[in-house]
Amino acid sequence: MPMRWFRRVTVTLLAVLVALGAIGCSRGIAGTPVAAPGPPLLATTCRDYAEMTTAARREVIKAIGEAGNKLVATNPDLWTGVAAALCTFASPSAPVKDVVTGGIR
């Protein structure tokens, strides 16, 4: 007898969850999906930089070069690796821009 009760409760709960899931997914959302904006590239910290892909790291370095650092702008690929190496010595909260330009904290 207790097993039947448990089975009925389990089946009822599963039916309710399936119904709620179907209802929740039945209405589409209008508009174009847009990615949530991340932090500005020049405000990227070493902690964020360490978790980025190589392409994302290059974008950060490219932004640093475009912000006026001519040395970084000449070879962003080289500075992508240099910044990664320097960030291992700097504070995780240090901005990559400061680390690359000599303002290591």
Give me the mean pLDDT over the 28-43 stretch: 70
Cα atoms found within 13 Å of the Cα of residue 83, Cβ hemisphere only: 35
- For residue 105, give the nearest of 90, 84, 85, 88 by alpha carbon: 90
What are the extents of the domains in the chain? 41-101
Q: Are 49 and 96 in contact (CB under 8 A)?
A: yes
Q: Are 44 and 51 in contact (CB under 8 A)?
A: no
Give the model's confidence band at 30: pLDDT under 50 very low, under 70 low, under 90 confident, else very high: confident
Residues 68-93: tens digit of each pLDDT: 889 999 999 999 999 999 999 999 99
Length of the chain: 105
Kindly tell me if the per-residue pLDDT of 35 is higher than 60.
no
